[in-house]
């Protein structure tokens, strides 16, 4: 573990190397007057907005929208199926159907998916939060959609002998709207208070007991529920296509977790608000998901309950370069070689003269095996997964 003492509390990193921008952001958090014990950086950490991706911090009585992030509730879902053998043609057929059933990028369903929301939902009340009321109509058309960037749908083979299905996605546009709205409110409150938190930190916080802090907490929890149901619906439709092609009839393991959220928890003898941005909860015995890149292994893990990490672990392998840098740095032929044997769309030219998907090539990410080795005290591998087919956002 790397320990940096440059703030009010230490920064503890589960990696040997932290990029300068990421470290600066972590030190900013360590200087907040209400931060508790230390700031934790997971082995996949890299620079984000305000707070590093792969960052974990506990605040005493405050909640920070930018320490949760714009994709509130972004996370993973994975199914272990009862299938042990699958052919190339079956993989291709399943992915073709997934493309028809699951809109990607900025696309959404033409009709509301309201009926897919379990137990119904009062669209008029919308939890009594104006920003939710404003966005809920369009959100219901986005329920069961993947989004873009690093979101994906995958079919994988586990070292347990079974075929697994995995999806990475979040709260879509409603999470972004909620995050942006309350971050602006927090900035105004910070300004009115004379900027006790420097604006350059981009870490304006809300008192959890204030009206604004209470509203954000309610809105955030709605977005967490939306993100979870979004993944549930996509997996329902993905598994239906998988069933039709393979004859599968049973799911033997199911995991659905968030990695962008804040939660009230007990740590170091104190009730605190733990912020995990690009980090997963890993209590002792808790199942988690740590994906690699679309060309490398992923892991289903069990948590070891490390208090030093606030019971957390990485949410993936973590980027090693910006998306823009990928287009000028990654060799296309090398990227194709790293995807050999995996069903995917390829790195096609887009309208801007760039090869679509190159910013998600395996070369854009850290080595997942190094990431796993660096958090051996946080999680234990349960199943190692090898990608067979992938659909990117």
- Active site positions, annotated: 315
User: Can you tell me the distance from the alpha carbon of 155 to that of 344, in angstroms, rounded to the nearest whole number?
Assistant: 11
Which pair of tokens denotes residue 284?
């002792």
Structure-block tokens of residue 70: 């714009």
How many other C-beta atoms lie within 10 A of the C-beta of residue 265?
15
In the DSSP assignment, the letter for residue 349 is B
For residues 278 and 42, the answer to whether their CB atoms sit within 8 Å is: yes
The neighbouring-strand residues paired with 177 are none
338 within 8 A of 362, measured Cβ to Cβ: yes
Structure tokens at 265: 């928890």
Q: Confirm if 40 and 66 have CB atoms less than 8 A apart.
A: no
What angle do the packed helices 211-246 and 88-101 form, to 10 degrees? 140
Nearest-angstrom CA–CA distance, 133 and 194:
32
């Amino acid at each position: 573990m790397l320990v940096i003492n440059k703030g009010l509390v230490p920064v503890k990193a589960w990696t040997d190397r932290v990029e300068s921008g990421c470290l600066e952001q972590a030190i900013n958090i360590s200087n907040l007057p209400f931060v508790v014990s230390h700031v934790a950086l997971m082995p996949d950490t890299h620079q984000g907005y305000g707070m590093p991706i792969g960052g974990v911090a506990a605040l005493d009585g405050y909640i920070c929208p930018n320490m949760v992030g714009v994709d509130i509730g972004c996370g993973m879902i994975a199914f272990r199926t009862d299938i042990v053998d699958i052919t190339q043609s079956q993989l291709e057929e399943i992915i073709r159907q997934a493309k028809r059933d699951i809109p990607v990028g900025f696309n959404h369903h033409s009709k509301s998916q309201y009926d897919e929301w379990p137990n119904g939902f009062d669209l008029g009340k919308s939890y009594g939060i104006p920003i939710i009321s404003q966005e809920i109509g369009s959100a219901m058309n986005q329920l069961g959609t993947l989004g873009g960037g690093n979101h994906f749908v995958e079919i994988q083979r586990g070292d347990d002998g079974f075929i697994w299905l995995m999806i990475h996605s979040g709260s879509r546009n409603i999470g972004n709207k909620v995050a942006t709205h309350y971050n602006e409110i927090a900035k105004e409150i910070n300004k009115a208070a004379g900027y006790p938190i420097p604006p350059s930190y981009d870490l304006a916080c809300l008192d959890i007991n204030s009206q604004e802090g209470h509203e954000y907490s309610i809105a955030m929890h709605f977005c967490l529920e939306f993100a979870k149901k979004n993944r549930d619906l996509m997996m329902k439709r993905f598994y239906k296509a998988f069933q039709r092609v393979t004859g599968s009839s049973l799911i033997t393991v199911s995991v659905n977790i968030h990695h962008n959220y804040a939660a009230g928890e007990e740590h170091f003898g104190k009730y605190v608000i733990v912020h995990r941005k690009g980090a997963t909860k890993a209590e002792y015995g808790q199942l988690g998901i740590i994906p690699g890149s679309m060309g490398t292994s992923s892991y289903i893990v069990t948590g070891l309950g490390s208090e030093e990490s606030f019971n957390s672990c990485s949410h993936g392998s973590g980027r090693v370069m910006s998306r823009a840098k990928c287009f000028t740095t990654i060799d296309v032929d090398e990227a194709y070689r790293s995807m050999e044997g995996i069903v995917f769309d390829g790195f096609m030219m887009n309208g801007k003269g760039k090869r679509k998907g190159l910013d998600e090539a395996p070369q854009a990410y850290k080595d997942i095996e190094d990431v796993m080795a660096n958090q051996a005290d946080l999680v234990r591998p349960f199943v190692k997964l090898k990608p067979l087919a992938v659909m990117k956002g």
